[in-house]
């Protein structure tokens, strides 16, 4: 910001002290409170009324009001001869605006908030912050690097671990397709064994194959032979160690990361009390440190809501943090999303924010059910959003990162005149006639994130198309002249778009059936 430009921030009573704190980092920025409780009540008339006193006291070159202020400030700006522009709607983005003010002044508006202008710069600043964080972090007890170099710890963004479930009882092709799908968002791939069906050879085979994707690998088993098979094949995390299989650590290299449970599964022991769980985790972690392990994650066990109870699980995590402020934690958030019949995006956002508050370093998720499709990507977005909010000391709103899937932060209302000239059109059934050029079957491939479309001509030839977007397939269909009528093309556009939305949202898709969005109460 130019050293000869003085800026005056106008606000209300409630935000005054916060703005003073922000302005303290900018020598050319002053703050004045208007006789209102919140800045959103600022109006052009109010600013004009107090302008003589403000100008005499501060002599600003530019006045910024809240982006939530009502009205257009061009008229009072013209009368007092000083620009009055709207800033950001929320305090968290204001420092970025002030840092880059000289560059973005021409884009500021007397009528519209500056959030969209600042957003790109805010994201760039956050990226720089993340890089600086990795360079400057202290790698002691609270932070460590996995054997492959990936930093994990309380001072870093939570790493998202994606579990490939039941690899010992499923085909290698299925496990590899699942792993490939997860690599788009996961930081760590977790090779999950099948309980009571040990198969060390298959664990070793899958770990070896999955390592080709270049991500850190975890072996998810309590069975000693499966653990060692995974470690020998290159897994750098063992999930998990408890009192029942502790002796396996005698054979595990000290540079392997261990996840500690509060249990003794082989003896059927799971402490029901959250305080006891936290203490059991802490004790086991301390015992492992005495054996030479310094890459440790504690997992007091996240459990399903209502029964056994999510709140008790959170109490255990909180008490772990009370016992040891520097102990990295792992949370199996899949144990929540897998046991609630609801959309997962909102759940993952709340879970991630709770994880940030508790200082949890690794979030474990999976997508075993149709309702949990895209949980890994949702949790990844939410983890980043929560981490940024935590470092900014702000609620996770208007900070340059979001976790939206099906909604947006604001409604984009098109400037269309809504008068009586629009003709109302009723739904009516259209008679379908066979297309001389053939027919289509449409589906989705979730693992490869593709819409599928098969065309069969009347002569028997088959053409199969796949793409992440409906538009790409429809354009190819039209270009290849695979349809002969506008009505058939319109039908394909509708069905392909339904399939793409289902692919992205996690809904079911069935060709020619109504869109599968509903609330049910089967009582």
Q: How far apart, in whole angstroms, are the C-alpha atoms of residue 297 and residue 240?
A: 10
Distance CA 184, CA 32 (A): 48
Identify whether 308 is preceded by a cis peptide bond (ω within 30 of 0).
yes
Among 98, 135, 115, smallest CA distance to 398 is for 115
**To which H or E segment does residue 297 belong?**
strand 296-298
How many other CB atoms are found less than 10 A from the CB of residue 388? 22
Please provide the CATH number assigned to the domain covering 7-133. 3.40.50
Radius of gyration in angstroms for the set of CA atoms belonging to the chain, rounded to a whole number = 29
Contacts of residue 398, defined as CB under 8 A and 6 or more positions apart, other chains included, come to 88, 89, 90, 92, 93, 115, 409
Q: In angstroms, rounded to a whole number, what is the distance separating the alpha carbons of residues 328 and 141?
A: 8
pTM: 0.83
Q: What is the pLDDT along the chain (523 residues), one digit of tens a residue?
A: 455 789 999 999 999 999 999 999 999 999 999 999 999 999 999 999 999 999 999 999 999 999 999 999 999 999 999 999 999 988 888 998 999 998 999 999 999 999 888 877 877 877 787 788 778 878 888 999 999 999 999 999 999 999 999 999 999 999 999 999 999 999 999 999 998 899 999 999 999 999 999 999 999 999 999 999 999 999 999 999 999 999 999 999 999 999 999 999 999 999 999 999 999 999 999 999 999 999 999 999 999 999 999 999 999 999 999 999 999 999 999 999 999 999 999 999 999 999 999 999 999 999 988 889 899 999 999 999 999 888 878 889 877 788 988 787 765 544 455 566 778 888 877 677 899 999 999 999 988 889 999 999 999 999 999 999 999 999 999 999 999 999 999 999 999 999 999 888 888 899 998 875 554 444 4
Determine the CATH number of domain 139-392.
Answer: 3.20.20.20
402 neighbors 381 (Cβ within 8 angstroms): yes
């Amino acid at each position: 910001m130019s050293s000869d430009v003085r800026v005056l921030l106008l606000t209300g009573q409630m935000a005054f002290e916060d703005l003073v704190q922000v302005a303290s980092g900018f020598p050319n920025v002053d703050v004045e409170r208007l006789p209102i409780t919140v800045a959103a009540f600022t109006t052009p008339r109010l600013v004009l009324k107090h302008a003589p006193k403000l100008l005499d006291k501060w002599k600003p070159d530019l006045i910024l009001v809240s982006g939530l202020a009502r009205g257009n400030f061009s008229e009072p700006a013209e009368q007092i001869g000083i620009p009055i522009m709207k800033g950001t709607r929320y305090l968290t983005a204001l420092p970025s605006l002030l840092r880059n003010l000289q560059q973005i002044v021409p884009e500021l508006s007397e009528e519209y908030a500056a959030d969209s202008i600042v957003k790109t710069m805010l994201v760039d600043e956050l990226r720089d912050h993340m890089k600086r964080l990795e360079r400057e972090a202290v790698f002691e007890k609270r932070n460590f690097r996995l054997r492959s170099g990936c930093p994990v710890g309380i001072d870093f963004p939570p790493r998202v671990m994606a579990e490939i479930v039941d690899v010992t009882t499923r085909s290698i092709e299925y496990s590899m397709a699942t792993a490939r799908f997860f690599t788009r968002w996961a930081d760590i791939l977790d090779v999950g064994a099948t309980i009571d069906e040990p198969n060390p050879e298959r664990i070793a085979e899958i770990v070896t194959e999955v390592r080709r994707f270049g991500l850190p690998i975890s072996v998810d088993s309590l069975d000693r032979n499966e653990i060692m098979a995974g470690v020998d094949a290159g897994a750098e995390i063992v999930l998990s160690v408890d009192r029942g299989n502790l002796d396996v650590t005698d054979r595990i290299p000290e540079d392997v990361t261990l996840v500690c449970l509060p249990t003794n599964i082989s003896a059927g022991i799971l402490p029901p009390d959250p305080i006891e769980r936290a203490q059991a985790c802490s004790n086991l972690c301390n015992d492992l440190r005495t054996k030479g392990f310094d890459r440790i994650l504690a997992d007091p066990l996240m459990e399903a809501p209502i029964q056994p109870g999510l709140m008790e699980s959170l109490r255990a995590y909180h008490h772990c943090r009370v016992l040891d402020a520097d102990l990295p934690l792992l949370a199996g958030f899949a144990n929540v999303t897998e046991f609630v019949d609801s959309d997962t995006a909102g759940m993952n956002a709340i879970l991630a924010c709770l994880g940030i508050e508790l200082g949890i370093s690794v979030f474990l998720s999976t997508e075993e059910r149709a309702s949990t499709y895209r949980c890994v990507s949702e949790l990844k977005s939410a983890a980043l959003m929560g981490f940024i909010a935590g470092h900014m000391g702000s609620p996770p709103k208007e900070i340059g990162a979001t976790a939206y899937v099906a909604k947006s932060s604001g409604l984009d209302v098109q400037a269309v005149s809504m008068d009586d000239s629009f003709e109302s059109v009723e739904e009516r059934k259209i008679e379908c006639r066979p297309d001389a050029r053939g027919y289509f079957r449409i589906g989705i491939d979730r693992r490869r994130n593709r819409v599928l479309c098969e065309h069969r001509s009347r002569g028997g030839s088959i053409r199969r198309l796949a793409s992440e977007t409906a538009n790409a397939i429809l354009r190819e269909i039209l270009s290849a002249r695979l349809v002969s009528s506008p009505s058939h093309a319109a039908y394909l556009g509708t069905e392909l778009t339904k399939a793409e939305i289902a692919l992205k949202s996690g809904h079911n898709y069935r060709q020619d059936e109504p869109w599968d969005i509903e609330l049910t109460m089967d009582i």
